[in-house]
Amino acid sequence: MESIDRKIVLLLDSYNEPGRMLIESFEAAGVVVESACINDDGFLPEGVTSVYGFFLGKPMNAADYLGKPRYFNQITVPDYWEISGNNSNAKVMDMGTERARIFYTEPANKRHVKVVDWLDEYGKVRYSDHYNKYGCLYARTIFNAKGQKVDKTYFDNEGREIILENFVTGDIILNYKGQVYMFKNKTDFTLFFLGEYGFKEGDRLLFNSLSTPFFVSQRLPDNGHGDILFWQEPTGEQIPGNMKIILDNNSSRTGAIYVQRRNSYDQLISLGASPEMVRPLGYIYSYKRENSLGNEVLICTNSDQLEAIESLVTGLDNMHFNIVAITEMSAKLMSLQKYQNVSLYPGIKADLAQEMFDTCNIYLDINYGGEILSSLQEAYYNNMVIYSFEATCHARSLVAGEHIYAIGQEKEMIKAIKNIDWAKAISLQHAKSMEESVEKYKNIL
């Protein structure tokens, strides 16, 4: 890797799982990359700078500062209004009339507030209050009578309006250091942020989106094609238009594309993308334990819909099934305790759930509905062998194709688990996830 003093910024459109994995891969390789995110939901991890939050100041002096996420019943409401909630969402009631809906950040079972939608007399959302990980109200979105977003205001610690974004015109107004700045769009606003952040001519921009981050790269001074796109999305039947600009050498700065999904890479090459410009790149995974042998099966679910569960339990009677949920379990799930090789854990606590990931050997991704407890990621990092069905698979990038079965093929799954070759199964799993080396990440920049 070349020795450089230049700033390298990874600009994310939104913070998501692929973005997190990319950041952690650079960290694991010892590559210093500063991360910034444009669309912030208030719960960015430490070390990731919010483009909007940068101008709001630290929240520690805010009047409503809690220092931790706001619990659902800590929302301020008028006297005699009632707040009620479960592990999925909450609501504010006034004498039988719903006044607001409360939405949680993940994991939802902790009931930490992210957004509160306030309703008018007709039950339509008129404005949304946005809360961050410090429990502060930092932004408010206004809706019109048709339920369309009109604008969003961001507040500083003293409740003053610092940023106003107009969703109708795209304009952004910023009150900063005693001056008022007006920007025509999010690209102009982000460019201003980079300047204030200390990004200079010659610095490098890494990005994972062909929308605003790419537009920002295009507007920066030429740096000899040192910028890089990390493509983490599916590829359709055609090469995206903005990507063609890069592939045709018409971009002002971007000189390489690293594709972080195997199917996307194969699709781009089949569509004629140059292997010199488009290169596959996985992630660096930090495993919590070595390959482990055993007969402990784990299933995490937020519903009672488990594909072929009784067939699996009876067909693998030498295996012990641990079925966990963060909520109470229905009578349908509770009926599984009639099997001696099944243990049920309704309303499981975080420490016990972690113990399950630490000790179980096989993960069955067979539940319909949403994923809980980041279960696929945890199972992968603990080198558990993951099996799933086509209709229930929550993270195909972490599950070997050989371990995903069609509905009705539970007998084939049972046979595979009975005759499992642990080393081969883990090897297939690692290959599917495009596991990458530290050396390759060091040589990117």
**Structural domain boundaries in the chain:** 8-56+185-280, 59-155, 296-432
Q: How many CB atoms lie within 10 A of CB 408?
A: 10
**CATH number 3.50.30.50 given to 296-432:** no
At residue 2, the pLDDT reads: 44
At 1 the pLDDT is 39
Helix ranges (H only) for 149-234 are 186-197, 212-219
Strands (E), 220-311: 227-231, 254-259, 278-280, 296-300
- Counted residue by residue, the chain has a size of 445
pLDDT at site 3 = 43
* Residue carrying the six token digits 């200079």: 200
Q: Which two tokens stand for residue 152?
A: 């969003």
Question: Low-confidence residues of the chain, pLDDT below 50?
Answer: 1-3
Q: What's the confidence (pLDDT) of residue 100? A: 97
Return d(Cα 402, Cα 337) in angstroms, integer: 30
Instruction: Give helix 186-197 / helix 212-219 axis angle, nearest 10°.
Output: 60
State the pTM of this model: 0.85
Fold equal for 8-56+185-280 and 296-432? yes
Give DSSP secondary structure letters for 283-295. B----SS------
The pair of structure tokens assigned to 438 is 């530290």
> What is the helix, strand, coil percentage profile of the chain, to 5?
30, 30, 45
CATH for 8-56+185-280? Answer: 3.40.50
Q: Which pLDDT tens digit goes with each residue over 236-292?
A: 889 999 999 999 999 999 999 999 988 899 999 999 999 999 999 999 987 877 766
Residue 292 is predicted with a pLDDT of 67
Check: CB of residue 92 under 8 Å from CB of residue 82. Answer: yes
Phi, psi of 75 (to 5 degrees): -75, 135
> Distance between CA atoms of 224 and 253, rounded to whole angstroms?
6
CA atoms within 13 A on the CB side of 403: 31
| Distance, CA of 85 to chain centre | 24
pLDDT at 349: 87
Q: Which secondary-structure segment (H or E) carries 23?
A: helix 17-28
Using alpha carbons only, what angle is made at residue 204 by residues 211 and 259, rounded to the nearest 5 degrees? Answer: 55
Q: List b or e across 382-392, with b for residues whose CB sees 16 or more CB atoms inside 10 angstroms.
A: bbbbbbbbeeb
